[in-house]
């Protein structure tokens, strides 16, 4: 798990007691990041996923946090931060994870479940769809590599 974003003194920029996750007054990043945006995809029975930044050049956010609600009357706490690659690798170096990395993590978990007492058709179907998602993302990367635009902000050509 990556550490929480910090201010210039190494302090956590997100208020520990604010369930709405607003940056603390005076923090360096308080003027650099918008209010967190709740991602309303899937279920959020026990956790919530929030984007911590505005969409970048590729129209996607780069920083996310997963929070859990302890009890409806209590503040939530953070369980994980995810920082995606920001900018082309050729120009910025590797500075974050890629979509494929998260898919591989979930695939590994489901494969583990399938080897134990939680084996089921639902897990198998989810695993199949994740394998397919990884296939298509890898095809996209290969197209970009073949066209000489991988690692840049240049769009690749569709040749399907």
pLDDT tens per residue, range 61-111: 999 999 886 655 556 678 889 999 998 888 899 999 999 999 999 999 999
Cα–Cα distances in angstroms (integers) from residue 95 to residues 34, 62, 63, 90, 92, in the given order: 21, 10, 12, 11, 7
Residue-wise pLDDT for 6-43, tens only, equals 444 454 444 333 334 444 444 444 445 578 888 888 87
In this prediction the pTM is 0.71
Within the chain, where are the H helices?
89-92, 99-114, 121-146
Q: What are the extents of the domains in the chain?
A: 1-83, 97-160
Which DSSP state fits 46? S
The predicted pLDDT at position 76 comes to 66
The predicted pLDDT at position 74 comes to 59
């Amino acid at each position: 798990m990556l550490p929480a974003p910090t201010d210039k003194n190494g302090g956590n920029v997100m208020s520990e007691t604010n369930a709405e996750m607003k940056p603390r007054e005076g923090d360096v990043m308080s003027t650099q990041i918008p209010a967190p945006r709740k991602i309303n995809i899937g279920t959020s029975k026990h956790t919530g996923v929030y984007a911590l930044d505005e969409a970048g050049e590729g129209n996607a956010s780069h920083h996310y946090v997963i929070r859990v609600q302890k009890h409806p009357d209590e503040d939530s706490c953070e369980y994980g931060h995810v920082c995606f690659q920001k900018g082309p690798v050729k120009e910025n170096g590797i500075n974050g994870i890629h979509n494929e990395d998260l898919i591989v993590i979930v695939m590994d978990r489901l494969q583990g479940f399938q080897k134990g007492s939680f084996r089921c058709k639902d897990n198998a179907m989810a695993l199949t769809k994740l394998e397919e998602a990884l296939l298509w993302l890898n095809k996209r990367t290969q197209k970009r590599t073949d066209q000489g635009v991988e690692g840049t902000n240049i769009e690749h050509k569709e040749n399907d």
